[in-house]
Amino acid sequence: MIQGYGAFVGVELDDTGQLQVRIASDNTLRILGHSPEALFSLNSFSDVLAYDEAGFIRRLEPLLTIFAGQSPLPLDIFQCSILSVNGGARLFWCTAHATGEQEKLVICEFELAHNSFDRHHAITPRLEPTRILNYQPSAEEWHISTVRASKPLHSLHQPSDGTSSVNPVNLISAMHEIQS
């Protein structure tokens, strides 16, 4: 599998609480510093996390507890550090989402975190507009977008030890949860 931008890893929580790698894009060696074969041979994907393995799993828990046919599928965006083969750690953005097809499979898309104001890494914005004004939602889409069942916002959940603060990406994830 080839992922054009960033690396793609599918993980599944097994009966012992370990995150088993089930899918990996061909570019994981270039992006994450670990080949797909090396990721498949890990006891747990948390073996390559630099720190806060429990926090990583806690972020994925709501995605692992979806039910068949749930719509919309939950999504979370957060930062994590991954150890390289030489022992150093690199910071990544992780976009994690459920597949909706396999109950316990979570897709994690990793992109290197970098300063978007750095001219060497700047992303060129699209110049052509995207037309969304003529879209007419169905009655079901309208109902889903205007009715919200009360449930906690997991992206704003803070560890009880006070080691984490709410950052802008967590707020974006919370807005996505509110809209979905």
Per residue in 127-157, is it b (16+ CB within 10 Å) or e — as a string? eeeeeeeeeeeeeeeeeeeeeeeeeeebbeb
Can you tell me the distance from the alpha carbon of 33 to that of 47, in angstroms, rounded to the nearest whole number?
Answer: 13
56 within some domain? yes
Q: Which amino acid is at 128?
A: E
2 within some domain? no
Query: Across residues 163-174, what is the average pLDDT?
Result: 65
pLDDT greater than 70 at residue 152 = no
CA of residue 1 relative to chain centroid, distance: 18
SS3 139: helix
Can you tell me the distance from the alpha carbon of 93 to that of 156, in angstroms, rounded to the nearest whole number?
Answer: 17
Q: Are 9 and 25 in contact (CB under 8 A)?
A: yes
170 within some domain? no
**Of 145, 7, 155, 146, nearest in space to 75 by CA:** 155
CA angle 87, 14, 112 (to 5 degrees): 35
Would you tell me how many other CB atoms lie within 10 Å of the CB of residue 27? 18
39 within some domain? yes
124 within some domain? no
66 within some domain? yes
Label residue 83 exposed, middle or buried (CB < 10 Å: 0-12, 13-18, 19+). middle
Tell me which of 1-5, 54-58, 69-73, 158-162 is least confident.
158-162
Structure tokens at 105: 């499979």
95 within some domain? yes
- Residues 6 or more apart in contact with residue 145 via CB below 8 angstroms: 137, 179
CATH code where residue 52 lies: 3.30.450.20
Tell me how long the chain is.
180
Host domain of residue 93: 7-118+131-164
Residue-level pLDDT at 100: 67
Instruction: Please tell me the total count of domains within the chain.
Output: 1
pLDDT digits (tens, 9 = 90+) for 77-99: 999 999 988 778 889 999 998 87
169 within some domain? no
Would you tell me how many other CB atoms lie within 10 Å of the CB of residue 89? 15
Residue-level pLDDT at 41: 94
pLDDT digits (tens, 9 = 90+) for 120-134: 544 455 555 554 556
Structure tokens at 65: 């507890």
